[in-house]
A and B are shown apart, each in its own frame.
Chain A
Amino acid sequence: MSDDGKQATMPASMNGAHPDAAMRSLPDNLAVKCPKCRELLLGKDWERNLKVCPKCGHHAQLTAQERIDLLIDEESDFEQIDRDLVSNDPLKFVSLSGTDRSKLDGLADSTGLKESVVVGSGIIDGLPVMLVIMDFRFLGGSMGAVVGEKITHAIEIATYERIPLLIATASGGARMQEGVIALMQMAKTSAALARMAEAGVPYIVLLTDPTTGGVTASFAMLGDVTIAEPGALVAFTGPRVIEQSMHIKLPKDVGYAEYLLAHGMIDGIVHRRALKATIARLLHLYDDAEKAMN
């Protein structure tokens, strides 16, 4: 895969003309600083550039809604499932400062999300696809019972309907506050993926910044095809943790998408501007294969 973004087709909702796309959240004249190189940009230019820094190429995190808008043909085609599932705090988790319930409620207010993943079906370049899109803003994209259930449900629907599955990861891993229940979601999602693989339904993984821990060590590494955004941190143990625990200094590239590509872990790195076209190409290849079988 060698898409460098040059032949990009810009999705309608991302070209600045869409009236209510979630990307149009910033006032046009607001200044935004690139989180990496500190370049100052106008809000409208930042959004028009899909939150990719024109100077250094840094791909900033997208919200789940922004990611969905970026990928699917028509926003109205997106049918979200399991929107209302929330955790009931199964461990009655006792934090150092009381329980964590209030924190969860506060998050739901600020992000408009009830959990760290949005799941549903949509159309990409005319082809149906099941979408699982993680949102790092909600408790670091962490996976608890709800995330595991929503993802498993999506995998099961995709398997049953024989629709390709796309998961865009962004997660710090399993959610500590749900203990082993959270850990077991790694096994639960992987078990569903085993059945999907057996059924011969394609599974595409898009690794976005950052993806670490238990999410990396389960469904993020089980794709039939795996692509990443440039510069995305993708690791089991993050480079800072390795440096601290092993008391060593690591080369700068360790743990990033380019490093994974060099070590044979992923199939390609795709600029955000070429993302939709790249995924569409892949979907058409599988779609043609499925048609040839029937």
Chain B
Amino acid sequence: MLAFDLDFEKRLADVDKRIQGLQKKGSKLKGDERVKLNEYQQELETLMREVYGNLTTWQTVQVARHPKRPYTSDFIDLMCENFFELRGDRRYGDDRAILGGLASLDGETVVILGNQKGRDTKERMECNFGMSHPEGYRKVLRLLRHAERFHLPVITLVDIPGASPGLEDEQRGIAQAIAENLMVMSALRTPIITVVIGEGGSGGALGISVADRILMLEHSIYTVASPEAAAAIMWRDSAYAASAAEAMKITAKDLKQLRLIEEIIPEPLGGAHQDKAEVAASVKSAILRHLAELRRKSTEDLLECRYQRYRDIGRSAIANLPVGALP
């Protein structure tokens, strides 16, 4: 069943309500009602194409944050078999905002991990609303090393508003934990594929997404800072979040155009939450396709390509850059 909860989906919700009203009658539906139902269904499809074909950046943010959006746990369930969760960082604790472990993906053992927001209030509290603590990044580090040791590809799923901004996070070195992951991922001797499934928020997202390939779901976002924080920093008022979101170029389309990501994975009409099985199948086939390509490279080649992937970022954003040899 479809769900229309967002403010810009009001017209869709109205038509959907009429459809459901008629559908409830089931076999008692009269001939002219049957015609009406058909009309409404076509109207809804047309409207959805219109609305979802022209989402503003802020509307995309709302879809990316949709409370019914599939989370890392959904993708693992729908894409993998034999998921064996690995828990804890062996130093301090087990951050529930990171879910990860060993799994079988199309018969191949991989390490898969991602940000977990939590669905209901209790889960959300346990997961700190998806905002990882230092122990979350250190759990990721442990899983990365594990993957390297057994030559397992790493799949990371990004869906985080930002790293946890609390006192205990500073105490336990959140900045150091993220920084270490950046360094380790850049040189990890096994393929890494990242899929941004919802929100890619700032350094908190980057800390699990230095990869050979970065794929983004059609209505996901990746930002240098959350739109609210950016507006507060730049314009001293988080009410300008929508303007900040627009200006920072955070949608999958923007980032593909800036050549910061490799691929946009299409979502079902109306967003990933309308059909989780379909979106999981799309993500899985994209991962397998990229993995097959990466598998053909030698480890040295893989690492050199990964280095150059990041080495090149921003060079086209510089005026007066001398062309020619680096040392």
- Chain A residues engaging chain B, CB cutoff 8 angstroms: 84-88, 90-91, 93-96, 144-146, 148-149, 152-153, 156-157, 159-161, 174-188, 190-195, 197-198, 213-214, 216-222, 235-237, 241-242, 245-246, 248, 250, 254-255, 259, 263-265
Partner of B327, one of A95, A157, A265: A157
With contact pairs A145-B315, A184-B313 given, residues A174 and B321 touching in the complex (Cβ less than 8 Å): no
Partner of B175, one of A96, A179, A188, A221: A221
Chain B 92-129 residues near chain A, CB threshold 8 A: none
- Docked-complex contact A184 and B314, CB < 8 angstroms: yes
**Given the complex of chains A and B, what is the CA–CA distance between A240 and B202 in angstroms?**
19
**Given the complex of chains A and B, what is the CA–CA distance between A248 and B166 in angstroms?**
10
Residues of A within 8 A of B310 (CB): 184, 187-188, 191
**Given the complex of chains A and B, what is the CA–CA distance between A122 and B321 in angstroms?**
23
Nearest residue (CB) in A for B235 is: A96
- Give the distance to chain B from A281, nearest Cβ to Cβ, in Å: 24
- Docked-complex contact B170 and A254, CB < 8 angstroms: yes
With contact pairs A86-B318, A181-B260, A235-B170 given, residues A194 and B186 touching in the complex (Cβ less than 8 Å): yes
Partner of B318, one of A88, A156, A197: A88
Residue B193 at the A interface, CB < 8 A?
no
Residues of B within 8 A of A87 (CB): 317-319
- Docked-complex contact A180 and B258, CB < 8 angstroms: yes
**Given the complex of chains A and B, what is the CA–CA distance between A263 and B174 in angstroms?**
12
Chain B 172-186 residues near chain A, CB threshold 8 A: 172-176, 178-180, 182-186
Mark interface residues in B158-194 (1 if CB within 8 Å of A CB, else 0): 0000010111011111111011101111110000000
- Give the distance to chain B from A254, nearest Cβ to Cβ, in Å: 6
Residues of A within 8 A of B233 (CB): 176
- Docked-complex contact A265 and B173, CB < 8 angstroms: yes
With contact pairs A188-B310, A195-B307, A237-B170 given, residues A85 and B318 touching in the complex (Cβ less than 8 Å): yes
Nearest residue (CB) in A for B171 is: A263
Residues of A within 8 A of B174 (CB): 217, 236-237
Interface bin, chain B: 35 or more
Residue B76 at the A interface, CB < 8 A?
no
- Docked-complex contact A86 and B320, CB < 8 angstroms: yes
Partner of B250, one of A149, A156, A179, A213: A179
**Known A217-B163, A246-B165; further 20 A-B contacts with Cβ < 8 A:** A86-B319, A90-B258, A91-B258, A94-B247, A145-B313, A148-B313, A152-B311, A160-B327, A176-B224, A179-B249, A179-B250, A183-B224, A190-B183, A191-B186, A217-B175, A217-B178, A217-B182, A254-B167, A254-B170, A265-B173
**Given the complex of chains A and B, what is the CA–CA distance between A93 and B234 in angstroms?**
12
Nearest residue (CB) in B for A158 is: B327
With contact pairs A179-B250, A180-B249, A188-B313 given, residues A149 and B167 touching in the complex (Cβ less than 8 Å): no
- Docked-complex contact B307 and A91, CB < 8 angstroms: no
Residue B248 at the A interface, CB < 8 A?
yes
Supply 11 A–B pairs (Cβ within 8 Å), ascending by A: A86-B320, A187-B310, A190-B183, A194-B183, A217-B175, A217-B179, A221-B179, A237-B165, A237-B170, A246-B165, A255-B170
With contact pairs A85-B321, A86-B320, A242-B170 given, residues A185 and B247 touching in the complex (Cβ less than 8 Å): no
Residue B157 at the A interface, CB < 8 A?
no
Of A145, A191, A197, most B-chain CB atoms within 10 Å: A191
Residue B223 at the A interface, CB < 8 A?
yes
Nearest residue (CB) in A for B230 is: A176
Of B183, B186, B210, most A-chain CB atoms within 10 Å: B183
With contact pairs A96-B240, A156-B326, A187-B210 given, residues A195 and B187 touching in the complex (Cβ less than 8 Å): yes
Q: Give chain B's interface secondary structure class.
A: helix
**Given the complex of chains A and B, what is the CA–CA distance between A190 and B222 in angstroms?**
19
Residues of A within 8 A of B223 (CB): 179-180, 183
Of B187, B247, B255, B316, most A-chain CB atoms within 10 Å: B247
Mark interface residues in B179-220 (1 if CB within 8 Å of A CB, else 0): 110111111000000000000001100110010000000000
**Given the complex of chains A and B, what is the CA–CA distance between A258 and B171 in angstroms?**
12
- Docked-complex contact B179 and A242, CB < 8 angstroms: no
Residue B243 at the A interface, CB < 8 A?
yes
- Docked-complex contact B316 and A242, CB < 8 angstroms: no
- Docked-complex contact A91 and B321, CB < 8 angstroms: no
- Docked-complex contact B187 and A236, CB < 8 angstroms: no
Residues of B within 8 A of A159 (CB): 327
Residues of A within 8 A of B225 (CB): 174, 176
With contact pairs A96-B235, A180-B222, A214-B203 given, residues A188 and B248 touching in the complex (Cβ less than 8 Å): no
With contact pairs A86-B318, A245-B165 given, residues A190 and B243 touching in the complex (Cβ less than 8 Å): no
- Docked-complex contact B327 and A91, CB < 8 angstroms: no
- Give the distance to chain A from B84, nearest Cβ to Cβ, in Å: 29
Chain B 297-318 residues near chain A, CB threshold 8 A: 306-307, 310-311, 313-318
**Given the complex of chains A and B, what is the CA–CA distance between A196 and B28 in angstroms?**
75
- Docked-complex contact A187 and B319, CB < 8 angstroms: no
- Docked-complex contact A85 and B320, CB < 8 angstroms: yes
Residues of A within 8 A of B14 (CB): none
Residues of B within 8 A of A86 (CB): 318-320
With contact pairs A181-B260, A186-B203, A237-B169 given, residues A218 and B182 touching in the complex (Cβ less than 8 Å): yes
Residues of A within 8 A of B316 (CB): 90
- Give the distance to chain B from A238, nearest Cβ to Cβ, in Å: 9
- Docked-complex contact B170 and A236, CB < 8 angstroms: yes
**Given the complex of chains A and B, what is the CA–CA distance between A222 and B187 in angstroms?**
14
Residue B278 at the A interface, CB < 8 A?
no
**Given the complex of chains A and B, what is the CA–CA distance between A144 and B203 in angstroms?**
14
Nearest residue (CB) in A for B210 is: A187
